[in-house]
Amino acid sequence: MEFQYKEAKQRRLNWVSETWNGDGHRDIAASDDVLIVGAGVVGSALAYALGKEGRRVHVIERDLSEPDRIVGELLQPGGYLKLVELGLEDCVKDIDAQQVFGYALFKDGKKTRIPYPLENFRSDVAGRSFHHGRFIQRLREKASSLSNVRLEQGTVTSLLEENGMIKGVNYKTRNGEESTAYALLTVVCDGCYSNLRRSLCNPKVDVPSCFVGLVLENCRLPFENHGHVVLADPSPILFYPISSHEIRCLVDVPGQTVPSIANGELAQYLKTVVAPQVPPELHDSFITAIDTGNVKPMANRSMPADPCPTPGALLLGDAFNMRHPLTGGGMTVALSDVVVLRDLLRPLSDFNDASTLCRYLESFYTIRKPVASTINTLAGALYKVFCASPDPARKEMRQACFDYLSLGGIFSLGPIALLSGLNPRPLSLVLHFFAVAVYGFWRLMLPFPSPDRIYTGARLISGASGIIFPILKAEGIREMFFPFSVPAYYRAPLSRQTIQKNRSKHVLAEKSH
């Protein structure tokens, strides 16, 4: 996609001449309201959202050319709704994005279709899958279409701290010159490899597996316009369309590294271990994709949010919080966070009082919890359940999960509503997770419970608890289930009306599911 910078460049020139004084030093009084580090999914969406609110926004992005990555290609319908709330839904137009209406699951030659519950939404509401880079360029284009948003290419090297308060950043400009940018609020959205997060949170990054990405051509998915998950051995394989003629395949490889690409070990692994488990309709294109050599590996990181509230700064996106990408929830969480933050900051006429602003921003970390933690927990738990294991109890849990989702009705609607981000409610997550475990236990007791079966069933239940409780604990049980009981929730200058709206949304959604 061609990115139009001409107009933005002219505005930038006007801006620079307005805000820099004669001796080349920035006039602090004219510093920006918000400085955003990174123009990925979050940075670009936030720049547009805050720009629309009339804030002066400066975005510094390391590379403004179209990214070519295997991340962020399937946006769940819940994420699409957030795009609509932000006025960014046209960013999935004209990029050959494909609508996604649900998932198909494959296990041991059996398959089941799980549609998204879209009946009560507008006709355009569905998932979207696309080339990540094209989407990013549309978001950047949209942000820089606002006269008060300035996108600059540069690499941020450090945060500028004075007396415990973040005042801006040091960065290298496009020409390699050292420079400084000041703002009343610095939002760090520099993604999963973030160098800047260390002073703003306690990062505990886990790498449970890697994805190996390939692009398949000249084939059709067994279920068009659906995400496909194959419950393979040792771990899942995903397929989804990224354009009208390309299908993305992501092969999960457990562990922190993948077999060597250079000496052909990875190609050998894909052909001998993975290919036999690929649906027949996709097999030949899968082999061709391996032979073309365009195979990209990427580590799957997960990191619970553990912020250190710091005056003048905020972390957002993957720099702040990550989950396994199996369920494609990252962009939905990110866009949901942008909506929460925009609404939170709306009543503030300016950001001059940094310590008060910091206390207000603490409520951001609580308000976002129910949605973000539900999507995070589902991703972590589902990944563990979907991985093959020699343990009979884990095998039963995996089979029970496939069969439970195949039952249809509430048994598939509830879980897919969670995964799609249309109803990301913590209680619904826990209920369905344990319903799967109880279903698995009950099946084991049929036709007669033997001591062996009772033992396996008990291990299944304790295994299920062992999967979900550590994730819930890391996410923060109180903030996730009872955010209203956390004092920080009330720190923001939210209007009574907004609090009421959030509260009734929560209650209504719990009732309807």
Ligand X SMILES: Cc1cc2nc3c(=O)[nH]c(=O)nc-3n(C[C@H](O)[C@H](O)[C@H](O)COP(=O)(O)OP(=O)(O)OC[C@H]3O[C@@H](n4cnc5c(N)ncnc54)[C@H](O)[C@@H]3O)c2cc1C
Residues that bind ligand X (CB under 6 A): 37-43, 60-63, 70-75, 155-156, 189-192, 195, 211, 298, 300, 317-319, 325, 328-332, 334
Contact 151, 61 (CB under 8 A): yes
The least distance separating ligand X from the CB of residue 173, rounded to whole angstroms, comes to 11
106-113 CB contacts, 8 Å cutoff, 24+ apart:
106/228, 106/229, 106/230, 106/231, 106/279, 107/230, 107/231, 107/398, 107/399, 107/402, 108/231, 110/402, 110/406, 111/222, 111/279, 112/402, 112/405, 112/406, 112/412, 113/223, 113/226
Q: How far is the CB of 220 from ligand X (least distance, A)?
A: 20
Query: Judged by CB, which is closer to ligand X: 191, or 370?
Result: 191
- Measured CA to CA, the distance from residue 167 to residue 312 in angstroms comes to 6
Nearer to ligand X, 248 or 432 (CB): 248
CB of 330 to ligand X, least distance (A): 2
d(CA 107, CA 124) in angstroms, rounded, equals: 31
For residue 441, the one-letter residue type is F
**Based on CB atoms, which residue is closest to ligand X, 106 or 130?**
130
Give the residue carrying structure tokens 């009208």.
Answer: 244
Nearer to ligand X, 15 or 135 (CB): 135
Nearest distance from residue 371's CB to ligand X, in Å? 13
CB of 236 to ligand X, least distance (A): 13
Q: Which residues contact 108 (CB under 8 A, 6 or more apart)?
A: 231
Nearer to ligand X, 63 or 391 (CB): 63
CB of 43 to ligand X, least distance (A): 5
Of residues 19 and 155, the one with the C-beta less far from ligand X:
155
Contacts 24+ apart (CB under 8 A), 283-287: 284/219, 285/216, 285/217, 285/218, 285/219, 285/247, 286/214, 286/216, 286/249
Nearest residue to the partner ligand X, using Cβ: 40
Q: Least distance in Å: CB of 303 to ligand X?
A: 11
Nearer to ligand X, 382 or 397 (CB): 382
Residues with Cβ within 8 Å of 330's Cβ and at least 6 positions away in sequence, in order, are 41, 71, 72, 318, 322, 323
